[in-house]
Structure 1
């Protein structure tokens, strides 16, 4: 009966919608416009009030936690001497939460003597629209810092910042840790002095429909092209683009016009943000909306190069490794006040410049594996428009028009055949 049980479990997983799958597939369900699809199988972890009780995060795993108002939460890391370690924290406020311009999160990595290895902040911006925001921390050996050297225990500190007027409810957190191995041989220790900062003309042509996912783990894969989606006020769409060593990424997001005489204006209505493979913020762009088509173009970024990490500017040092880069599009909840609930037409134009080049030569494997390279599977997913997480399981059910009832009949057939075989074996 073990085989039958395995089939039944598989069927149950296919028939049941996993958490956030409806949002990831672009299907309205419940509070769809504010949904965030946390990674399936994310382990729950409680942030400690101090370092003594901090639980250890493991590389390659995704965690789910929460962040109370006005406090700090601590998690610990066990690091070796040579690897670079990156930790990202995505904060998700409750739908309808009251926010101010300065509300946000601060993430830092500290050693056992309270020295900060890094820190970064992220806020909700002028629109004050509740949506997922992400900040990251790192302990790096390349570039090396005067402090935070050597193996040992380090701490991730996640802090909620802002004003006293914001909503008091806790925010959900998604935490991810990744490690990057050292190189087999030393590289240059300065960033490129010059790179092509000119913006090419945006791609033209008929847009293909690619609905974005509802979280990093459910991001829809896209490559170079013109992509169309529907987006509602308060909604955030996630896309991922495989960008190889030596390639340069350009992207613009366009919000379509409304029919009739539009009245009103929404500040910072459309927001487009770029994150690198460890979910570190690279840059962003936003634009207001008056009912007429508006475009938010990302400022140019350099081609992916290992030595970009030695630059001071985020738009350069963020392009430090190959892998899946994330384009995150948010439509402010305030758009609904002036222009209705939508959905609104969104056009995403993505361009990749340059041929893939060989990597710098790592002396080991990243955790998770293949995090800093573009694989054949990544390219195929971008061509097919694949999404991560449970979407693949739901796609398996949909292939060939197989419905839930048919799946159940298949399982019953497997059960019957297995029972008959075992009866004959006795």
Structure 2
């Protein structure tokens, strides 16, 4: 029997500990420790609706097990956290795949550091679609998480943030330096099938014009340090401070039929001795299961710069049938995430910071009813914007309806901020409680 992975890493710290702060990522408070096995034979079970914390070795792979029914889609997200003080190459990253018992991949996804060569949390998501040609049917499936990079056993780098792949050495390429293991946050979500058959092709046309960014009076909103601590945003203009090497997380509720857009601006900085930092500001949009939808980046030399997400379609069930990530990723309503990273090299090229960050966030279009699901999603309410109660009380409907429209459409006032905060707090509390009761 294969032994469990025993990488030379410190013991997993409790979520929210000083070790988390040192790594620059806040692991979810309900994340449970789980070992990554060196073989599928000893793979630990990941339960839908739960969040886990694990370790990814510098070589080899970490294996986990899923027990899935025949009709639900499953989404497994892995966020890898490199040491912020370490060195990485542009092509260093992770690959996540879901495989059947015959070793065939249902899907795979990669995420790489990119041209900034700055250590940052990397998120990749594997999918088991119940109607897929290789992965239909109930039974056991496996999640395989591995490192990719110039010298990794995982092979080639992914297609995500792969610009500027040459020139820098990292853990997988630095001679004489032992590569460090990376910590992992894993989430598993399931989506039941719709109660009634609908369109099986992605919309052929949608409004792809880049909307004018909001020009509201800015309101200060510091970001969270992880998906589980993301700060809630609605439409408006929001400001924060960001330091070189830091990653900020924001949560934006997006209902069926609505279309988010965002721009991140880095303010000007004083100082005469400045040089250009490549791909310094990175903005990405992730959907409710944390899969990457779209991203943008820009360099920085101390003069104000902006990174604007490419247009994405309104949230619609049929988007999943598209081949482009920025269309297929907009397949369900719920909490979308804006993740902003400022490259560590900015400290050397421009200055130590902190620097002023402005986020211009818009959510356009009228909220619509979503599909009625033939069952419950796990975590409960993950594809709603009005709380976990909606799915249970409406027989598993996935549509949040128009109740959230006022929150997401207009600028947030103090009262609506409190209301939205209470809604999301309720969702998180119920998800945590539901996950605990299911796992015994």
TM-score (norm 2): 0.79
Provide the rounded CA distance (Å) in 2 between the counterparts of 1:262 and 1:289: 13
- Greater share of helix residues, 1 or 2? 1
Tell me, in whole angstroms, the C-alpha distance in 2 between the residues paired with 1:66 and 1:30: 14
Per the TM alignment, residue 33 of structure 1 is displaced from its structure 2 partner at its CA by 7.7
* Residue deviations 1:377-425 (CA, integer Å, cap 9, x gap): 9957972474988xx99xxxxxxxxxxxxxxxxxxxxxxxxxxxxxxxx
SS in 2 for 1:356: coil
Shift of 1:237: 0.2
What corresponds to 2:116 in structure 1?
127
Query: Which residue number corresponds to residue 417 of structure 2?
Result: 383
The answer (yes or no) to whether the contact 1:33–1:233 under 8 Å persists in 2 is: no
Cα distance, 1:340 vs structure 2: 1.9
Q: Which has the higher contact order (CA 8 A, sep 6+)?
A: 1
On the 8 A contact 2:77/2:125 being kept in 1, the answer is yes
> Offset at 1:205?
2.4
Residue of structure 2 in register with 1:166 after alignment: 170
Question: Any conservation in 2 of the 1:262–1:291 contact (CA below 8 Å)?
Answer: no
Is 1:338 matched with 2:349?
yes
CA distance in 2, matches of 1:181, 1:41: 24
Structure 2: gaps (5+ residues): 1-13, 152-168, 172-178, 389-402, 408-414, 430-440
| Number of the residue aligned with 1:40 | 29
Deviations 1:133-157 (A, max 9, x none): 100001012xx22110100000000
Shift of 1:364: 1.3
Secondary structure of 1:134's partner?
Answer: strand
Partner of 2:379, secondary structure, is coil
Secondary structure of 2:189 counterpart: strand
1:256 to 1:264, Cα distance in 2 relative to 1, 3 A: same
The structure having more radius of gyration, on CA atoms, is: 1
Counterparts in 2 of 1:39 and 1:99: CA distance versus 1, 3 Å: same
Offset, 1:206: 1.5
Question: What pairs with 1:231-242 in structure 2 (closer than 5 Å)?
Answer: 231-242=242-253
Residues 243 and 262 from structure 1, CA distance in 2 versus in 1: closer, same or farther, beyond 3 angstroms?
Answer: farther
For 1:151, which of 106, 114, 138 is the aligned residue? 138
State the 4+ residue runs in structure 1 displaced beyond 2 angstroms. 18-21, 29-34, 163-167, 259-262, 376-389
Query: Is residue 79 of structure 2 the alignment partner of residue 68 of structure 1?
Result: no
- CA, structure 1 residues 31+244, in 2 after alignment: closer, same or farther (shift >3 Å)? closer
Q: Which consecutive residues of structure 1, in runs of 5 or more, have no partner in the other structure? A: 1-17, 22-28, 394-426
Deviates more, 1:93-102 or 1:167-176: 93-102
Counterpart-to-counterpart distance in 2, 1:365 and 1:338? 50
Rounded Cα–Cα distance in structure 2 between residues aligned with 1:95 and 1:268 = 17
Q: Conserved in 2, the CA contact under 8 Å of 1:20 and 1:214?
A: no
**Cα offset, 1:73, TM superposition:** 0.9
Contact residue 245 and residue 322 of structure 1 kept, 8 A: yes
Task: Number of aligned residue pairs: give it.
Answer: 365
Aligned-residue RMSD, C-alpha: 2.1
CA contact 1:34–1:95 (8 Å) conserved in 2: yes
Distance of 2:143 and 2:20 partners within structure 1: 31
TM-score, L = length of structure 1: 0.82
